[in-house]
């Protein structure tokens, strides 16, 4: 048996979404199930999701637009939206509903179109926070690669480590996706002659020393321009790295060739994320189990509605 802790993945002026199962709350890409609460008039941007969506409308109601036709779905009703359906949700009253998505919702597979305005249920700042939650949920560890002389000096003195560009950048750069480390090193540090060491950490180990981690777009390191990582977000540490026991979980060597090019971090492959191909195979193998979970969730939702009617 597994018990999950719900996570508020969206907290916007008129919309709150609490995830009970999914990429963030249970770190399971098979299925997501949330409770959504709308408190005032608003609407979602058009989206064409890459998932099937089962919706239980518990309170109030929602207007669904598909093929330029509006349909009001009232409390006590269920709704199914097939994968690939271009849809717009809008509310003129408070509403409470449960969306169940197979596979699980993510900002990458929701097919959300660009749309702005005060009427939008999830403004851009809410979407940025949602993307950050999903990026953080993919990775168990964080990595910072430090110059050996600077790191060893901080350890010997028992003081907090800060990278040379901390004051200029305003944070300590880190990487969550271990497979990106060598490319990052060669982009930023190939001209630095010092030896480097890779520090393995977690957000929790950093929090134990009072340092918060935020996920943001790539940024310059000192005067070196940011690396192009597309839409991927990177962890930025709002503070230094403590040399006290328990913050850095492991120190890994970093190898280079004679020209200074970074080659490898021996041992890092033990912590690399599984390939997308392997991830998809796991998703396919678990589709039947996910469908069963969806049926159970629908049954629970219907039970909730019947119970309210009898009360």
**Domains in the chain: boundaries:** 7-116+286-310, 142-271
Residues in the chain: 311
| The two three-digit tokens of residue 110, written as one number | 């929701």
Summarize pLDDT for 148-196 with one digit per residue, the tens.
999 999 999 999 999 999 999 999 999 999 999 999 999 999 999 999 9
67/85 Cα distance (integer angstroms): 9
> Between residues 175 and 291, which one has the greater pLDDT?
175
285/103 Cα distance (integer angstroms): 12
Among 139, 152, 140, 136, smallest CA distance to 251 is for 152
CATH number for domain 7-116+286-310, candidates 3.40.50.2000, 3.40.718.10, 2.60.120.10, 1.10.287.3510 = 2.60.120.10
- Whether the per-residue pLDDT at 295 is higher than 70: the answer is no
- Whether the per-residue pLDDT at 7 is higher than 50: the answer is yes
| The two three-digit tokens of residue 84, written as one number | 């690939």
Q: What is the pLDDT of residue 42?
A: 98
- Which of 147-156, 204-213, 228-237, 277-286 comes out lowest in average pLDDT? 277-286
- Whether the per-residue pLDDT at 279 is higher than 70: the answer is no
* 273 pLDDT tier (thresholds 50, 70, 90): low
Summarize pLDDT for 216-253 with one digit per residue, the tens.
999 999 999 999 998 899 999 999 999 999 999 999 99
- Whether the per-residue pLDDT at 137 is higher than 50: the answer is yes
Among 148, 219, 217, smallest CA distance to 187 is for 219
Summarize pLDDT for 30-59 with one digit per residue, the tens.
999 999 999 999 999 999 999 999 999 999
The percent of residues above 90 in pLDDT, for the chain, comes to 83
> Between residues 187 and 307, which one has the greater pLDDT?
187
> Between residues 285 and 129, which one has the greater pLDDT?
129
Overall average pLDDT of the 5-30 stretch: 97
Q: What is the pLDDT of residue 310?
A: 56
Q: What is the pLDDT of residue 116?
A: 85
| CATH 3.40.228.10 for the 142-271 domain, yes or no | no
Q: Is pTM beyond 0.85 here? A: no
- Give the DSSP H/E element, type plus range, for residue 131: helix 124-137
Q: What is the pLDDT of residue 2?
A: 86
Query: DSSP readout, 209-254?
Result: TT--EEEE----BTTBPPP--TT--EEEESS-B--SBTTB-EEEE-
> Between residues 293 and 43, which one has the greater pLDDT?
43
Overall average pLDDT of the 205-213 stretch: 98
- Exposure class string for 166-195: b at 16+ Cβ within 10 A, else e: beeeebbbbbbbbebbbebbebbbeeeeee
């Amino acid at each position: 048996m597994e018990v999950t802790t719900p996570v508020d993945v969206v907290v916007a002026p008129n919309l709150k979404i609490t995830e009970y199962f999914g990429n963030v709350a249970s770190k399971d890409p098979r299925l997501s199930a949330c409770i959504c609460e709308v408190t005032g008039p608003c609407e979602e941007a058009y989206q064409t999701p890459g998932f099937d969506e089962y919706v239980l409308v518990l309170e109030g109601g929602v207007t669904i637009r598909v093929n330029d036709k509006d349909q009001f779905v009232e409390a006590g009703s269920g709704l199914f939206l097939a994968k690939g359906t271009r849809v717009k949700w809008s509310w003129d009253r408070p509403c409470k509903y449960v969306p169940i998505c197979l596979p699980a919702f993510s900002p990458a597979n929701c097919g959300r179109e660009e749309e702005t305005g005060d009427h939008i249920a999830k403004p851009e700042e809410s979407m940025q926070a949602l993307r950050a939650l999903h990026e953080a949920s993919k990775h168990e560890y964080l990595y910072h690669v430090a110059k050996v002389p600077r790191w060893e000096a901080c350890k010997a003195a028992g003081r907090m480590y800060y990278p040379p560009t901390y004051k200029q950048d305003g944070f300590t750069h880190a990487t969550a996706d271990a497979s990106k480390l060598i490319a990052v090193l060669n982009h930023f540090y190939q001209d630095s002659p010092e030896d480097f060491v890779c520090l393995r950490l977690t957000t929790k180990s950093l929090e134990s020393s009072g340092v918060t981690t935020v996920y943001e777009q790539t940024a310059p390191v000192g005067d070196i321009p940011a690396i192009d990582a597309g839409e991927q977000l990177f962890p930025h540490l709002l503070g230094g790295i403590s040399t006290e026991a328990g913050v850095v979980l492991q120190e890994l060597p970093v190898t280079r060739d004679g020209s200074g090019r970074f080659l490898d971090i021996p041992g890092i492959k033990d912590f690399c994320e599984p390939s997308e191909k392997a991830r998809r195979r796991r998703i396919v193998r678990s589709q039947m189990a996910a469908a069963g979970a969806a049926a159970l969730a629908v049954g629970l939702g219907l039970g909730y509605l019947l119970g309210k009617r009898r009360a």
